[in-house]
Chains A and B, each alone.
Chain A
Amino acid sequence: MSTLRSIGNRTTVPFGHFLRFALRVMGDVYRLRVMQFFGEVLRQAGILVTGSVLIVLGLVFILGLQCGIEGAYGARAVGAPSVSGAFTALCDLREVTPYAFGYMMAAKVGTGIVAELGSMRISDEIDALEVMGFDSLLYLCATRLLGMWMVLPFVYIAAVAFGFVGSYIAVVNQIGEVSAGGYFQIFWQFQNPVDLLYSAIKGMLMATMVVLVGCYYGYYASGGPVGVGTATAKSMVVNIFGIHAIGMVGTQLFWGGNARAPIGG
């Protein structure tokens, strides 16, 4: 019984702590208190665009190529190379782009935030902010969250496009068993704007979670330079859990009861 209680305390207490932190940061954004540091918000958005976007798009592109070759070989196996567009449409838009986006956001942006905030915490810069009368949570975490929210929807659309281009290159140029027109006809039939919306919801939820987890682990880092490294590694574990949970629940919720494919009645 005591073991059970200790396991419970080890997992639920930090989770509750994290939830309270996340709600406070989101509340700061929602009540527009963050607008007093709007310059910092824009700076964080700019750092995201110049520093991370290309790498995120790179992973999506590589996995788009992957979807393309699997789709092309799979469609050839059933004797209908022209339907590889159906496979890549489902694979790119609904599943692989959100996952690749989430993974790379966690790897590049999430751990970057932990490293940055953690080193500020252990060199007492956050305490210095508090002494100067700044609300450090507002200045450091809420500005980052709003900065991400301003930029990421556009980045996500760009990521979807990169995945599509990757699949197109793999199916039409590399394997080359279907013409561009034949590929696009099936490809566009198997998706519609609602799918894009659902996919973007999944991607945005993952990205929001990644930023909040990154801020949490960085803001409460302790234990010197070594502690920053450990916190960075730990945040990655939490992110991997969260991304898969969001992906699985999202898929079940959005497409579980309805195939949303143009076949039959």
Chain B
Amino acid sequence: MLRAVGERTFLPLREFIETIGSMGVLTGKTLTSAVRPPYPYGKEFVTQFLFAVRLCWFPMIVASVAFTYGPSGVQAANFLNLFGAIDRLGGLFIVAVVREFAPLVCAIVMAGVAGTAICADLGARKIREELDALQVLGVDPIKNLVVPRFLALMLVTGMFNVYAVIFGTFGGMLVTVTNGAPLGPFFATYFTNATPTELWGSLLKTVMFGAIIAIVCCYKGLTAKGGAEGVGRAVNQAVVISFLGIGAFNYVFTQTLLATHPELTLVR
């Protein structure tokens, strides 16, 4: 009885810790084989980069406009309107969009769209035994498949963050205009509150998000098993773990950034 209870509690926990450990090992292997010559992954990198861009650009625009129009647009504009200070919306947008929502939306879209596609692709290759065939041919799957996806996702996520900021700002302009306020004060407070630290923090955060998504989705794809249901289940687990990882990393990173850079929390 006691043993059954113990197994039921600790077996999933052990599995979880093992998964985390294997992902760490995969990260290490990916990093070392990315920098160690030869570099056969150039072409695959370009293909994956274009694949991710083509898949994600439209969901990205829709998501970033919607997410900034609602939470930081309508709610914040309502609040500021009560004080007659709608011109401060721009300053708020630096905090809300550049620091928080653009990276978050970016990561959610990349994990949900590009990450799932990568996981489904690798999982399909795994259960058709193509990966085993590659290994027999002497081709290293990590160097030739994981490394280009890892680098491409990091680059695309960082790049799309810039677009998420631009379209997020567009959402803010939309809210300002629907409230009947002029755009000049919006941009004035926007640019006086903007700091380079904020921008590089945002970029660094999204690049790390891209790395998390790539490692989780590649790991789940490479270890897919169990025939028909296997690939679907792998994609399911990959997206769940990615979202939780993104949330956890976001919290730690934002907290550290705000605590170590007090100039970010000044209102100008």
Contacts and interface: CB of A to CB of B under 8 A. Distances in A.
Interface stretch (B24-32, B144-152, B241-249): B241-249
Interface in B240-268: 240, 242-244, 247-248, 250-251, 254-255, 258, 264-267
Nearest to A79: B267
Interface in A47-76: 55, 58-59, 62-63, 65-66, 69-70, 73-74, 76
Q: Chain A interface mostly helix, strand, loop or mixed?
A: helix
Nearest to B178: A256
Contacts of A231: 232
Interface string A26-66: 00000000000000000000000000000100110011011
A263 B250 contact: no
A164 to B, nearest CB: 16
A96 B62 CA distance: 17
A78 B69 CA distance: 23
A189 interface: no
Contacts of A122: 228
A10 to B, nearest CB: 13
A251 interface: yes
A20 interface: no
Give the contact-size bracket for chain B. Answer: 35 or more
A17 B235 CA distance: 25
A225 B227 contact: yes
A84 B133 CA distance: 58
B230 interface: yes
B95 A241 contact: no
Given A104-B243, A108-B236, A111-B235, A226 B70 contact: no
B116 A255 contact: no
Interface string A225-241: 11011111100110111
B62 A77 contact: no
B81 interface: yes
The residue among A233, A236, A263 with the most chain B CB atoms within 10 A of its own CB is A233
A91 B95 CA distance: 14
Contacts of B121: 229
Contacts of B108: 103, 240
A259 B78 contact: yes
Contacts of B119: 229, 233
Contacts of A65: 251
A21 to B, nearest CB: 19
B116 to A, nearest CB: 4
A108 B112 contact: no
A74 to B, nearest CB: 6
Interface residues of A, number: 64
A1 to B, nearest CB: 22
The residue among B95, B235, B251 with the most chain A CB atoms within 10 A of its own CB is B235
A78 B267 contact: yes
Nearest to A251: B70
B199 interface: no
B70 A225 contact: no
Interface stretch (A113-121, A130-138, A139-147, A154-162): A113-121
A95 B70 CA distance: 8
Interface in A76-126: 76-78, 86, 90-91, 94-96, 99, 103-104, 106-108, 111-112, 114-116, 118-119, 122-123
Nearest to B71: A95
A241 B61 CA distance: 10
B232 A59 contact: no
A24 to B, nearest CB: 23
Contacts of B229: 115-116, 119, 228
Contacts of A258: 78
B208 interface: no
Nearest to B230: A225
A66 B67 CA distance: 16
A245 B255 CA distance: 30
Contacts of A55: 240, 244
A26 B69 CA distance: 31
B166 interface: no
Given A95-B70, A229-B235, A233-B116, A70 B95 contact: yes
B235 A247 contact: no
Contacts of A255: 74-75, 78
A248 interface: yes
Contacts of B224: 229
Q: Give 6 nearest A-B pairs by CB, closest first.
A: A115-B232, A229-B231, A229-B120, A259-B78, A62-B247, A233-B116
Interface of A: 55, 58-59, 62-63, 65-66, 69-70, 73-74, 76-78, 86, 90-91, 94-96, 99, 103-104, 106-108, 111-112, 114-116, 118-119, 122-123, 224-226, 228-233, 236-237, 239-241, 244-245, 247-248, 250-252, 255-256, 258-261, 263-264
8 contacts: A91-B71, A112-B236, A226-B124, A229-B231, A229-B232, A232-B236, A248-B66, A251-B74
